[in-house]
Amino acid sequence: MTPQTVPPIQQMLQMLHGLHVCTCISCLAQLGVPDFVEHGPKSAEELAAQVGANPQALYRLMRATASVGILSEGADGKFSETPLSAVLRSNAQPSARSFAMMGGREWHMRGWERLENSVRTGKTALEEVYGMSTFDYIFSHPEEMKIFNDTMTGLSMIDSPAIAEAYSFDGIRTIVDVAGGHGLLLANILQRNPQMRGTLYEVPPVLEGAKTGPLSPFMDRCALVAGDMFQSVPAGADAYIMKHIIHDWPDDVCIKILSHCRKGVNPGGKLLVADSVILPGNDFSIGKIMDIQMMLFPGGRERTEEQFRALFAAAGWKLTRVIPTAASESIVEGVPA
């Protein structure tokens, strides 16, 4: 049967099993199974002791994931690596392992359980579940913070090169990456633009991990500055860039952050926001699903071009253009209004 001839009830049942598939993938990644089959097929019995699992239960998990192309079971009952399992290895470049793991963590699962409540009330999920914001929860649980940071790094390995390649930084001598994590985006930009100096602006716990991160080869023209973007940003830059930051927050908070950038930017400078830009129509978009994630957890949203235009204007910027990239993100450019 082609997808067009599958009865709607069967299509719906396949979609409803999506959560189960995702949870199986998350468990496989958590156990580290893809790492162990990198160099050759392994049976569940061989792997059980190494990953700390029941052999029969592990076999059933591996068989289930093999049915969607993650691992491949041979006639001898051993499982081999596939292109999909390869990107779940911890040493993959880029790796989706931490992202898969995060999807199965208790806080994440409990957040999605509260979707109906969030839709009814407009409130974030973890405020109800744990009595604190998502970021407060993550920062107070070191293991979750590590998985979250590794997830962001893994995703950044996909989109940072695409963003650095898609935009011409000609004329920009100094740039501040606001809340730029461990600095992978900024490192990609500095590598491609040897005339440029950069500043990574982050909260102290994240900045600590950046000291030995991707920016290490560029420390002769890069500064690591600790601070709170909700209060201020380093002043005197030709450009301010933010990736996956504005989508975390509701409009009033975004306007505050963007206003700090407007106050600090040099004359003729630029604002660069790298996020999904939601297009009209019914086509599938990762951004439309991520929009629900933003609603549930930090309380932000993915935005349309017109929503970005209004947001920029409220903070003293004029949206000049939206630049697609080879990744799912676009670069929304602004200049002082």
Task: Return the number of other C-beta atoms located less than 10 Å from residue 188's C-beta.
Answer: 20
Which residue, among 263, 256, 258, has the nearest Cα to 334 in the 3D structure?
258
- Mutual orientation of helices 44-51 and 55-66 as an angle, nearest 10°? 110
**78 φ, ψ (degrees, to nearest 5):** -95, 155
Task: Return the number of other C-beta atoms located less than 10 Å from residue 210's C-beta.
Answer: 21
Which residue, among 309, 201, 294, 311, has the nearest Cα to 258 in the 3D structure?
311
Q: Among 108, 182, 244, 247, which one carries the catalytic annotation?
A: 247
Q: Retrieve residue 148's tokens.
A: 């979250």
247 is catalytic: yes
Q: SS3 string of the chain?
A: CCHHHCCHHHHHHHHHCHHHHHHHHHHHHHHCHHHHCCCCCECHHHHHHHHCCCHHHHHHHHHHHHCCCCCEECCCCCEECCHHHHCCCCCCCCCCHHHHHHHCCHHHHHHHHCHHHHHHHCCCHHHHHCCCCHHHHHHCCHHHHHHHHHHHHHHHHHHHHHHHHHCCCCCCCEEEEECCCCCHHHHHHHHHCCCCEEEEEECHHHHHHHCCCCCHHHHHHEEEEECCCCCCCCCCEEEEEEECCHHHCCHHHHHHHHHHHHHHEEEEEEEEEEECEECCCCCCCHHHHHHHHHHHCCCCCCEEHHHHHHHHHHCCEEEEEEEECCCCCEEEEEEEC
Question: Which residues are known catalytic residues?
Answer: 247
